């Protein structure tokens, strides 16, 4: 029985059991991770998981059931259970849910991959981490960590509307970190970011990072931070490096424009959004430099795909155009409720989870400047980069971020290292204060975005470049 | 085929394919997990998963590798063993391999409730209906979930263990349009989840939280409700009582030192409810006292971290623990001595001891909290904490926000609702000697994001909490 056959059997069983729409995904995922610590391999894990998840729409509710079995009997039973589960929701009914129309695609898609990451010898991958972490310790850090992760996912999607799509998405990435322990506190420096940079690409991404070449530098900086002056407290001009700005986009824009949050579907856990659909098209989100796109077509970025997990094709859209809020991340059901005519941002983190609205690649279009120009134009400020902590309220307004490293900026020059840099603000006020933006864009990958109940871990991409924000509160501490 | 049969089969395959010197441990878990989710006062997502997982860790020729998956056919198990053996042979040496767990008696698992394990969508939907109805017209959102796991362990020393667990949880909010109130509870039996009581409590809290005022940031005395205390426990567990972080000197924990107020006693007690009786290395699980009357007694270990610091495993091995470290996942803050905390946990009804006084406001839903508030001259009552993240793991300085209700307390009485505040605070410091002004008499068990993980806490009165920002920045 083929994967498509199993998915079709599940869909048919759901329809036979009373669903007015059903879809099913078979997923086969291989995962490999290796971590090294202080010059030794710490953990090597390889997982392989296969299963089927079927989604049935009855009345106002989705029912979903998943099984790790692709036999015809198991698939049909899963379809029936999904419909029965949806029907039980009628005890607490809501308005009927409709789906915005979309083409019933029959297609195949694969992410670009030059070097199959699972095909690279384990010894080669291990040597890379061992060498880098050994160098970090040799340069005086107390702890060195190195990590790579690889996901190789094949999926087959069938719907009662006629979709029949198969995709193969290979993702990988890695990174290194140095931790130095001082009197009562720790300092960490990472490259290229904590737990690494990731993309929908082959092992060539990890090779391009050249981890070993950056090991000594982060070790030295982690030690230097222990004795660096504290980031001053107060309001100042803030320059953010691209990696930190990527997380700023993720938290204060990406999640805020998720339509399920805006509609209240995530209110109890992930939260809602400060955005009001009545202001879509008119709200001033940020300065004129702020243009944010939703772009799952970006080759190699971590949030890329050919079709989302309800069969909508990947399409690039604007979320914020020259500071004005114009678009959302949507699914077919939420778009229908909101009166919109597009979806395309629904994914599940595995065969056992219900697809939900997720970020794809949500990022800034490049600006006209360079980081050096931004520094040169700043008389008094702080440059911060690489995220260390992140916290934001349930409406995605009030945030506080901590970075691994800061530098004093005085009279257009980068000065002393600053330790424990933090900054805080309110999303739209912050984005409206952005007055310089670099063109040095990198599509940063975030492989650990949590959302949903049961919890799901999403993989998202965030093109970002260094930028300057005026009069930001920095140096918050206990 | 039972889970124990499958685990034994994997170990035998390793012996056959890897030779007599190969050491292996295998865990097989079958699970039925279901969650009924509601928002805008109706059920919008209703999910179930029948799962199976097999996890293998082996050590051969001085090298270690782990693998897992969902394929339990003969071919699937053979492929798992083949690729894990291949990975081990290609991997680097593991001089710190701590060896396999020896045979040891497995303690009895907590009482198992069939009705919870095999709850159907109607059982969950009925509790949601009761929650929504009890909210009296307020908008509601949340979930009711049930979980059943049946697991077995086997290793090459001949040690084996098995057990099964069931757990139910409900977590919901009621919303007025400008304020939210929350009620949540974790139980061994779905029959102990009273949707109506939880919905009524959430609604009362939401109504009491309406029309909040903004207060200036600064240090305030606080009374934390159990949901907020659970966040403190979770962070202490992950960063402080984690044997790996301790071994690496990244934990605040100093055994033998009076790091906490004498009112603080912390025990990790997985067998108190819905925990398997053994860990991922087959080590029997038991209660571990981490803080006794303010003095840190220890941290938790798996076999690897225990070997590193010259201790013994406390039964806290888990998949991924090599990277993240062993973590207590069932941490209990002991209620005030003399109170029968266990009895209150098992009492059906709303989260927290039932209110008996007649003059409690909606903000103060139980006499336990009311008693703590009575001594507060000026402070804040905090229901819940949100999005807490660590600025420095060793001092455990954390930033986060309040959520689901904050109230100003003056002369022992709640006087007004307050808008959410951001804080930046060291969690060990707020529990330090002299900092705990009162501990409630009744502990409440609160669910985490995944079944099997829970936190048990009474409300807590603390001398000072550092709020560093208001709702508007």
Q: Kindly determine whether residue B92 and residue A41, on different chains, have CB atoms separated by under 8 Å.
A: yes
Beta bridge partners of B413: B410
Q: A252 and A109 in one domain?
A: no
In a mutagenesis test of the A interface, which of B3, B34, B37 is the best target, namely the one with the most A β-carbons within 10 Å? B37
Q: A192 and A97 in one domain?
A: yes
User: Is B213 among the domain residues?
Assistant: no
Least confident of A343-357, B342-356, B360-374: B342-356
- Cβ pairs bridging A and B (under 8 Å): 279
What chain B residue is nearest to A94 in terms of C-alpha separation? Answer: B42
Q: A139 and A91 in one domain?
A: yes
From A198, A226, A254, the end of a domain falls on A226
Beta bridge partners of A468: A239, A436
Torsion of CA A31, B393, B468, B421, to 10 degrees: 50
Q: Token pair for residue B188? A: 């061994």
Average pLDDT for runs of 10 along chain A of length 478:
97 98 98 93 91 94 96 98 96 93 96 97 93 98 97 98 98 98 93 95 98 98 98 98 98 98 97 98 98 98 98 98 98 97 97 98 98 98 96 95 98 97 97 98 97 96 98 93
Q: B268 and B286 in one domain?
A: yes
Q: Token pair for residue A325? A: 């809020």
Cα separations (Å) of A171 from A153, A201, A329?
8, 5, 22
pLDDT at B341: 41
**Which among B35, B248, B395 has the least Cβ separation from residue A184?**
B395
pLDDT at B210: 96
pLDDT at B338: 55
pLDDT at B345: 33
In a mutagenesis test of the B interface, which of A19, A32, A46 is the best target, namely the one with the most B β-carbons within 10 Å? A46
Q: B225 and B187 in one domain?
A: no
d(CA A275, CA A270): 15
Task: Chain B: give the shortest CA distance to residue A298, in Å.
Answer: 30
Alpha helix stretches (DSSP H) within A59-210: 72-88, 122-138, 204-209
d(CA B379, CA B215): 11
Q: What count of other Cβ atoms lies within 10 Å of the Cβ of residue A53?
A: 27
Q: Kindly determine whether residue A65 and residue B47, on different chains, have CB atoms separated by under 8 Å.
A: yes
Q: Kindly determine whether residue B43 and residue A91, on different chains, have CB atoms separated by under 8 Å.
A: yes
ipTM, two decimals, is 0.95
Q: Token pair for residue A113? A: 């991959």
pLDDT tens sequence across B48-83: 999 999 999 999 999 999 999 999 999 999 999 999
Which residues, at least 6 apart from A70, have a Cβ–Cβ distance to it below 8 Å? Answer: A1, A3, A6, A26, A50, A51, A52
Task: Chain A: give the shortest CA distance to residue B338, in Å.
Answer: 35
Q: A446 and A369 in one domain?
A: yes
pLDDT at B7: 98
DSSP E strand boundaries for A268-397: 292-294, 317-321, 324-325, 346-347, 356-357, 362-364, 380-392
From A226, A250, A285, the end of a domain falls on A226
Angle at CA B408, nearest 5°, toward B402 and B411? 145
Q: B398 and B379 in one domain?
A: yes
Q: B200 and B223 in one domain?
A: no
Q: A248 and A204 in one domain?
A: no
In a mutagenesis test of the B interface, which of A89, A346, A402 is the best target, namely the one with the most B β-carbons within 10 Å? A89
Question: Do B219 and B194 contact (CB within 8 A), yes or no?
Answer: no
Task: Chain A: give the shortest CA distance to residue B410, in Å.
Answer: 25
User: Is B413 among the domain residues?
Assistant: yes
**Which among B132, B323, B426 has the least Cβ separation from residue A92?**
B132
- The pLDDT-based confidence of B346 (bands split at 50, 70, 90) is very low
Q: A358 and A255 in one domain?
A: yes
pLDDT at B354: 42
Q: B196 and B321 in one domain?
A: no
User: Is B450 among the domain residues?
Assistant: yes
Question: Do B214 and B270 contact (CB within 8 A), yes or no?
Answer: no
Partner A, chain B 153-182, Cβ-Cβ below 8 Å? 171-173, 175, 180
Cα separations (Å) of B97 from A42, A62, A137, B60, B302?
10, 47, 21, 10, 12
Q: B344 and B298 in one domain?
A: yes
User: Is B393 among the domain residues?
Assistant: yes
Provide the whole-model pTM: 0.95
pLDDT at B360: 56
Which residues, at least 6 apart from B290, have a Cβ–Cβ distance to it below 8 Å? Answer: B241, B253, B266, B267, B268, B296, B297, B298, B299, B300, B328, B331
Q: A127 and A98 in one domain?
A: yes
Q: B295 and B362 in one domain?
A: yes
> Can you tell me which residue has the tokens 């006629």?
A162
Q: B148 and B242 in one domain?
A: no
From B175, B208, B241, the end of a domain falls on B208
pLDDT at B182: 97
B424 touches chain A (CB under 8 A): yes
Q: A189 and A290 in one domain?
A: no
DSSP E strand boundaries for B70-213: 139-155, 160-175, 180-187
Count of residues for chain B?
Answer: 473
Least confident of A182-186, B204-208, B337-341, B414-418: B337-341
Q: B284 and B427 in one domain?
A: yes
Look up residue B242 and give its DSSP letter.
B
pLDDT tens sequence across B167-185: 999 999 999 999 999 999 9
Q: A256 and A132 in one domain?
A: no
Q: Kindly determine whether residue B122 and residue A453, on different chains, have CB atoms separated by under 8 Å.
A: no
* Neighboring chain A residues of B468 at a CB cutoff of 8 Å: 400, 424, 476
Q: B245 and B200 in one domain?
A: no
From B208, B227, B253, the end of a domain falls on B208
Neighbour-count burial for B292-319, b at 16+ CB within 10 Å, e otherwise: bebbbbbbbbbbbbbbbeebebbbbbeb
Q: Kindly determine whether residue A46 and residue B473, on different chains, have CB atoms separated by under 8 Å.
A: no
> Residue B123 in 3-state DSSP?
helix
pLDDT tens sequence across A430-473: 999 999 999 999 999 999 999 999 999 999 999 999 999 999 99
Q: A264 and A196 in one domain?
A: no
Structural domain boundaries, residue B318: 218-469
- Nearest by Cα to B465 from B437, B442, B440, B439: B437
Angle at CA B232, nearest 5°, toward A182 and B390? 40
Number of folded domains in chain A?
Answer: 2
> Residue B341 in 3-state DSSP?
helix
Structural domain boundaries, residue A9: 3-226
Instruction: Report the CATH number that the domain containing residue A48 is assigned in CATH.
Output: 3.30.2290.10
Which residues, at least 6 apart from A339, have a Cβ–Cβ distance to it below 8 Å? Answer: none
Neighbour-count burial for A207-246, b at 16+ CB within 10 Å, e otherwise: eebebbebbbebbbbbbbbeebeebeeeebbbbbbbbbbb
Question: Do B154 and B187 contact (CB within 8 A), yes or no?
Answer: no
Task: Chain A: give the shortest CA distance to residue B404, in Å.
Answer: 10
Neighbour-count burial for B200-233, b at 16+ CB within 10 Å, e otherwise: bbbbbbbbbbeebeebebeebbbbbbbbbbbbbb
Q: A247 and A127 in one domain?
A: no
Alpha helix stretches (DSSP H) within A46-147: 72-88, 122-138
What chain B residue is nearest to A85 in terms of C-alpha separation? Answer: B121
pLDDT at A75: 98
Q: B224 and B157 in one domain?
A: no
Beta bridge partners of A461: A361, A445
pLDDT at A124: 93
Which residues, at least 6 apart from A27, have a Cβ–Cβ distance to it below 8 Å? Answer: A49, A50, A51, A52, A53, A153, A154, A155, A156, A350, A351
Torsion of CA A286, A289, A291, A297, to 10 degrees: -150
Q: B251 and B336 in one domain?
A: yes
Count of residues for chain A?
Answer: 478
Strand B218-224 with B139-155, pairing: unpaired
Q: Token pair for residue A104? A: 């019933």
Task: Chain B: give the shortest CA distance to residue A47, in Å.
Answer: 5
From A226, A247, A279, the end of a domain falls on A226
Least confident of A326-335, B91-100, B183-192, B398-407: B91-100
Question: Do B118 and B147 contact (CB within 8 A), yes or no?
Answer: no
- The pLDDT-based confidence of B357 (bands split at 50, 70, 90) is very low
Instruction: Report the CATH number that the domain containing residue B12 is assigned in CATH.
Output: 3.30.2290.10
Number of folded domains in chain B?
Answer: 2
Question: Do B382 and B406 contact (CB within 8 A), yes or no?
Answer: yes
Q: A385 and A253 in one domain?
A: yes
What chain A residue is nearest to B181 in terms of C-alpha separation? Answer: A268
User: Is B328 among the domain residues?
Assistant: yes
């Amino acid at each position: 029985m083929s994967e498509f056959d199993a998915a079709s059997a599940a869909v048919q069983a759901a329809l036979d059991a009373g669903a007015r729409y059903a879809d099913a995904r078979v997923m086969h995922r291989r995962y490999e991770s290796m971590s090294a610590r202080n010059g030794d391999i710490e953990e090597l894990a390889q997982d392989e998981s296969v299963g089927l998840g079927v989604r049935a729409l009855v009345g106002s509710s989705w029912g979903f059931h998943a099984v790790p079995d692709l036999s015809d009997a198991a698939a049909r039973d899963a379809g029936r259970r999904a419909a029965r589960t949806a029907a039980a929701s009628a005890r607490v009914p809501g308005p009927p849910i409709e789906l915005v129309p979309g083409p019933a695609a029959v297609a195949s898609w694969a992410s670009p991959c030059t070097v199959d990451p699972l095909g690279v010898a384990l010894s080669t991958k291990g040597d890379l981490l061992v060498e880098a972490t050994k160098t970090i310790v040799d340069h005086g850090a107390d702890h060195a960590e190195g990590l790579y992760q690889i996901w190789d996912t094949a999926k087959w999607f069938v719907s009662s509307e006629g979709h029949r799509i198969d995709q193969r998405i290979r993702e990988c990435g890695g990174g290194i970190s140095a931790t130095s322990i001082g009197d009562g506190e720790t300092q960490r420096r990472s490259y290229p970011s904590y737990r690494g940079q990731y993309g929908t690409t082959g092992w060539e991404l990890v090779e391009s990072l050249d981890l070993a070449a950056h090991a000594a530098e982060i070790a030295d900086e982690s030690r230097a931070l222990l004795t660096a002056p504290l980031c001053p407290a107060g309001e100042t001009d803030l320059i953010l490096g691209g990696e930190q700005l990527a997380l700023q986009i993720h938290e204060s824009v990406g999640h805020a424009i998720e339509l399920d949050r805006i509609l209240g579907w995530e209110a109890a856990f992930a939260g809602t959004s400060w955005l009001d659909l009545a202001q879509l098209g008119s709200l001033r989100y940020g300065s004129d430099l702020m243009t944010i796109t939703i772009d799952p077509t970006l080759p190699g970025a971590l949030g890329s795909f050919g079709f989302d997990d309800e069969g909508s094709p990947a399409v690039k859209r604007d979320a914020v155009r020259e500071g004005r809020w114009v678009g959302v991340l949507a699914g077919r059901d939420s778009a229908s409720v909101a009166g919109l005519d597009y979806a395309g941002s629904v994914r599940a983190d595995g065969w056992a989870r219900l697809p939900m609205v997720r970020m794809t690649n949500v990022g800034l279009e490049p600006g006209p400047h360079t980081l050096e120009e931004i520094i040169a134009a700043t008389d008094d400020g702080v440059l911060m980069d690489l995220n260390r902590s992140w916290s934001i309220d349930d409406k995605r307004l009030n945030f506080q971020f901590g970075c691994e490293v800061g530098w004093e900026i005085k009279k257009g020059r980068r000065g002393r290292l600053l330790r424990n840099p933090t900054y805080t603000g309110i999303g739209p006020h912050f984005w409206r204060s952005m007055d310089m933006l670099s063109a040095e864009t990198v599509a940063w990958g975030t492989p650990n975005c949590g959302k949903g109940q049961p919890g799901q871990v999403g993989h998202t991409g965030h093109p970002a470049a260094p930028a300057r924000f005026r009069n930001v509160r920095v140096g918050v501490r206990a | 085929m039972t889970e124990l049969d499958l685990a034994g089969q994997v170990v035998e395959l390793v012996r056959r394919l890897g030779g007599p010197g190969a050491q292996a441990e295998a865990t097989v878990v079958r699970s039925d997990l279901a969650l009924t989710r509601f928002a805008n006062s109706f059920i919008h997502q209703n999910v179930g998963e029948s799962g199976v997982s097999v996890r293998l860790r082996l050590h051969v020729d001085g090298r270690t590798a782990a693998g897992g998956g969902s394929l339990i056919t003969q071919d699937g198990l053979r492929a798992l063993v083949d690729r894990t053996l291949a990975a081990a042979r290609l991997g680097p040496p593991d001089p710190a391999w701590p060896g396999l767990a020896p045979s040891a008696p497995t303690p009895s698992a907590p009482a198992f409730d069939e009705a919870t394990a095999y709850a159907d969508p109607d059982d969950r939907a009925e509790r949601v209906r009761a929650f929504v109805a009890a909210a009296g017209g307020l908008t509601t959102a949340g979930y009711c979930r049930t979980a059943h796991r049946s697991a077995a362990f086997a290793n090459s020393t001949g040690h084996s263990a098995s057990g099964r667990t069931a757990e139910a949880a409900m977590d919901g909010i009621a919303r007025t349009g400008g304020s939210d109130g929350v009620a949540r509870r974790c139980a061994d039996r779905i029959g102990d989840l009273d949707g109506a009581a939880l919905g009524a409590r959430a609604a009362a809290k939401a109504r009491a939280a309406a029309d909040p005022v903004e207060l200036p940031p600064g240090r305030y005395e606080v009374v934390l409700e159990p949901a907020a205390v659970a966040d403190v426990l979770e962070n202490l567990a992950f960063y402080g009582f984690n044997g790996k972080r301790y071994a690496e000197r990244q934990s605040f924990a100093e055994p033998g030192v009076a790091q906490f107020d004498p009112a603080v006693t912390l025990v990790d007690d997985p067998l108190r409810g819905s925990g398997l009786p053994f860990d991922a290395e087959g080590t029997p699980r038991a209660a571990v006292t981490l803080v006794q009357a303010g003095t840190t007694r220890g941290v938790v270990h798996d076999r690897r971290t225990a070997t590193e610091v010259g201790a013994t495993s406390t039964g806290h091995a888990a998949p991924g623990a090599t990277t993240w470290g062993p973590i207590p996942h069932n941490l209990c803050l002991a209620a005030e001595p003399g109170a029968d905390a266990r009895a209150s946990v098992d009492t059906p009804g709303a989260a927290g001891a039932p209110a008996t006084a007649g003059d409690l406001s909606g903000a103060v839903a139980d006499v336990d909290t009311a008693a703590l508030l009575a001594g507060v001259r000026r402070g804040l009552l905090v229901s819940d904490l949100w999005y807490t993240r660590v600025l420095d793991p060793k001092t455990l300085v954390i930033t986060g926000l309040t959520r689901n209700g904050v109230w100003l307390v003056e002369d022992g009485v709640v006087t007004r609702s307050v808008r959410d505040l951001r804080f930046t605070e060291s969690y060990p410091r707020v529990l330090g000697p002299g900092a705990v002004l009162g501990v409630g008499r009744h502990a409440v068990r609160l669910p985490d994001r995944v079944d099997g993980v829970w936190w048990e806490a009474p409300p807590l009165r603390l001398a000072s909490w550092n709020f560093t920002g208001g709702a508007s920045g």
